[in-house]
A and B are shown apart, each in its own frame.
Chain A
């Protein structure tokens, strides 16, 4: 992803400051991610220094370079660092990356700065689908204890829920925004809130029908990584990978869609088909994220906006940068969620992201009000 910008610079065809700025930022976020991963794998009730952590991680990879003065790694530390913390860090990172990329795609396709898996009700739909899977027993009987034995069906149910919720929100937004498919930004978000609220009521209803699953379902509503391990990474990763490839493949098309459907078609894009595939890709990403971690808001909203301010709106840089920064943000949110309370108790990570993202969202509403005025005037 950085090579594209690098070649661009080398070819002398100045893509200008944007290209150089983007690759620099991406490199910085990459470095921060690696350092953060190392630190996060060492933090917890059984802390280890970065050197010890790195040693344990390298040993797990079969590389014993003796960073710790040649001493063998404590097997207990190895289990904690690799099987518990690394799995959790990896899952948090993947979830954050997926949610941020999905948010970026939703905002681009719908040309709506307030769009995101959470505000559009897509996460709520995925959570509902996952709840149905758990309660109907299709996701495996051990699902109740933190998804222990869940089968591969869970992300499929979450994806179906995500797509249904998205279809409902788009239909509602269109109906409320008048004819001609012109969707007003506020209408769409309102429709998202309506669908989200309705779905979370349905989830509560399902919950009260089956007292035994209460514990697991509560986590859908305020996502968490408590008790998650590599099996969850394996469960979600294929869906995330397919979703990511789908949207990265169409990064350039997202730029065209940002101009509006008319101009995108003038420039040679089959806008309808492109939009459909992008929405499916974004739903795959958010569905898979929700299936393993529950509903986590604001990552998909905050990250693309922050990045647009520093690297511009070109999606070939924005999508990978969003993935990296989204992963980084959720990685640290999860560290806070598991370390902020005394005595080993955990906060749902969704609480942390909401605490960070809520004020940011307010700021954004103010800004987008002004942007809406400036951008008003009709599209070609």
Chain B
């Protein structure tokens, strides 16, 4: 469960979030959308404890994250970051094993190995993120899409209760995106609370029963996908001509862009 109240976050003098209120109930799968610079990444980073709030509060499962240690917070929520530099010299399995850091005791630091339950969680995470075939590879040598699967596996190894994703599928091809979101849908069905920031509106509409649109640091729209995913709403938010039609199989609303020249010809 995530509860955000009047959250403001600044980068120096620039206001990135200007008073955001958001409640994601346990077991929800929510897509976080909005134009570039609208504050999606800022919100995810603030939730993950990487940015501190200028004002307002963030609660994860009822605990104010300002009062939690990094370890306690990491035990409650895991996060797949946007883009990442992977240092040389670590295998994929070692990288995913780092997701278990918060689960290790404070007194077991002295060169101690991760325990059997850590290794079991890592194997399950690698399998679920379809990264088990990469386990022995050097993480620094993977392609962008492979790295994103590995980072997803690391987040799963860390915890599956509350999962934040920041553009976690942007480097994946279409088939891999569907795979990744099928996995998220399964995690969600098994009780996971998921908030995923993404640019791909159609993927969001296809998988997320609820969407939140940010614009200029404020929540512009928040509601069931079928209610708010309309031509007029999307035009207002993205300031371009967008048409919405039903998905031929599922019937979910899908957005279609109109090329500038065609839009001009249409008047």
**Given A259-B98, A314-B90, A252 contacting B81 (CB threshold 8 A):** no
Q: Which of B72-80, B189-197, B210-218 contacts A (4 or more CB under 8 A)?
A: B72-80
From B87, B110, B120, B136, give the contact of A259 (CB < 8 A): B87
- Taking residues whose C-beta sits less than 8 angstroms from the other chain, chain B's interface range is 35 or more
**With an 8 A cutoff between CB atoms, is A141 at the interface?**
no
Contacts of A313 in B (CB 8 A): 87-90
Contacts of A5 in B (CB 8 A): 113
**With an 8 A cutoff between CB atoms, is A177 at the interface?**
no
A11 to chain B, nearest CB (A): 6
Contacts of A14 in B (CB 8 A): 93
Task: Please state if B87 and A252 are interface contacts (CB–CB under 8 Å).
Answer: no
A350 to chain B, nearest CB (A): 29
**With an 8 A cutoff between CB atoms, is A265 at the interface?**
yes
Q: Which of A209-217, A226-234, A371-379 contacts B (4 or more CB under 8 A)?
A: A371-379
Task: Please state if A258 and B101 are interface contacts (CB–CB under 8 Å).
Answer: no
**Once the chains are docked, how many angstroms separate the CA of A343 from the CA of B171?**
67
A154 to chain B, nearest CB (A): 29
**Once the chains are docked, how many angstroms separate the CA of A268 from the CA of B106?**
12
From A250, A268, A379, give the contact of B102 (CB < 8 A): A268
- A358-380 contacts to B, CB under 8 A, are 371, 374-375, 377-380
B34 to chain A, nearest CB (A): 20
**Given A265-B50, A268-B73, A313-B90, A378 contacting B85 (CB threshold 8 A):** yes
Task: Please state if A11 and B101 are interface contacts (CB–CB under 8 Å).
Answer: no
Contacts of A268 in B (CB 8 A): 70-71, 73-75, 101-102, 158
* Interface SS majority for chain A: helix
Contacts of A17 in B (CB 8 A): 136
**Once the chains are docked, how many angstroms separate the CA of A5 from the CA of B89?**
17
Chain B residue at minimal CB-CB distance from A4: B113
B143 to chain A, nearest CB (A): 13
Task: Please state if B101 and A18 are interface contacts (CB–CB under 8 Å).
Answer: no
Chain A residue at minimal CB-CB distance from B100: A267
Contacts of A378 in B (CB 8 A): 83, 85
B40 to chain A, nearest CB (A): 15
**With an 8 A cutoff between CB atoms, is B104 at the interface?**
yes
Chain B residue at minimal CB-CB distance from A272: B70
- B183-212 contacts to A, CB under 8 A, are none
Chain B residue at minimal CB-CB distance from A379: B85
Contacts of B50 in A (CB 8 A): 262, 265-266
**With an 8 A cutoff between CB atoms, is A146 at the interface?**
no
**With an 8 A cutoff between CB atoms, is A186 at the interface?**
no
**With an 8 A cutoff between CB atoms, is B69 at the interface?**
yes
**With an 8 A cutoff between CB atoms, is A169 at the interface?**
no
B256 to chain A, nearest CB (A): 33
Task: Please state if A380 and B84 are interface contacts (CB–CB under 8 Å).
Answer: yes
Task: Please state if A8 and B81 are interface contacts (CB–CB under 8 Å).
Answer: no
**Once the chains are docked, how many angstroms separate the CA of A266 from the CA of B46?**
11
- B34-89 contacts to A, CB under 8 A, are 48-50, 69-71, 73-75, 78-79, 81-89
Contacts of B104 in A (CB 8 A): 252
From A18, A245, A260, A320, give the contact of B91 (CB < 8 A): A18
- A239-268 contacts to B, CB under 8 A, are 245, 248-253, 255-256, 258-260, 262-263, 265-268
Q: Could you say which of A11, A17, A18 has the most chain B C-beta atoms within 10 Å of its C-beta?
A: A18
From B110, B116, B158, give the contact of A13 (CB < 8 A): B116
**With an 8 A cutoff between CB atoms, is B177 at the interface?**
no
Contacts of A4 in B (CB 8 A): 111-113
Task: Please state if B49 and A265 are interface contacts (CB–CB under 8 Å).
Answer: yes
Task: Please state if B85 and A375 are interface contacts (CB–CB under 8 Å).
Answer: yes
**Given A11-B119, A265-B50, A248 contacting B74 (CB threshold 8 A):** no
**Once the chains are docked, how many angstroms separate the CA of A143 from the CA of B150?**
57
Chain A residue at minimal CB-CB distance from B155: A266
Chain A residue at minimal CB-CB distance from B123: A13
**With an 8 A cutoff between CB atoms, is A148 at the interface?**
no
**Once the chains are docked, how many angstroms separate the CA of A14 from the CA of B119?**
9
Q: Could you say which of A7, A263, A319 has the most chain B C-beta atoms within 10 Å of its C-beta?
A: A263
Contacts of B119 in A (CB 8 A): 11, 13
Chain A residue at minimal CB-CB distance from B93: A16
**With an 8 A cutoff between CB atoms, is A269 at the interface?**
yes
Chain A residue at minimal CB-CB distance from B51: A262
Task: Please state if B89 and A267 are interface contacts (CB–CB under 8 Å).
Answer: no
Contacts of A258 in B (CB 8 A): 87, 90
Contacts of A1 in B (CB 8 A): 111
A226 to chain B, nearest CB (A): 35
Chain A residue at minimal CB-CB distance from B113: A4
**Once the chains are docked, how many angstroms separate the CA of A269 from the CA of B93?**
19
Task: Please state if A15 and B94 are interface contacts (CB–CB under 8 Å).
Answer: yes
0/1 interface trace, chain A 300-336, chain B, CB 8 Å (1 if under): 0000000010001110100110000000000000000
**With an 8 A cutoff between CB atoms, is B251 at the interface?**
no
Task: Please state if B89 and A256 are interface contacts (CB–CB under 8 Å).
Answer: no
Chain A residue at minimal CB-CB distance from B74: A268
Contacts of B113 in A (CB 8 A): 4-5, 7-8, 15, 316
Task: Please state if B71 and A266 are interface contacts (CB–CB under 8 Å).
Answer: no
**Given A256-B98, A256-B101, A250 contacting B82 (CB threshold 8 A):** no
**Once the chains are docked, how many angstroms separate the CA of A5 from the CA of B48?**
33
Task: Please state if B90 and A248 are interface contacts (CB–CB under 8 Å).
Answer: no
B165 to chain A, nearest CB (A): 12
**With an 8 A cutoff between CB atoms, is A184 at the interface?**
no
A52 to chain B, nearest CB (A): 37
- Enumerate the 6 nearest inter-chain pairs by beta-carbon distance, A residue then B residue, closest first: A313-B89, A268-B74, A268-B102, A13-B119, A380-B81, A268-B71
Chain A residues packing against B (C-beta within 8 Å): 1, 4-5, 7-8, 11, 13-18, 111, 245, 248-253, 255-256, 258-260, 262-263, 265-271, 308, 312-314, 316, 319-320, 371, 374-375, 377-380
Pull 6 A–B residue pairs with CB atoms less than 8 Å apart, ordered by A.
A252-B104, A259-B85, A262-B50, A266-B50, A268-B158, A312-B94
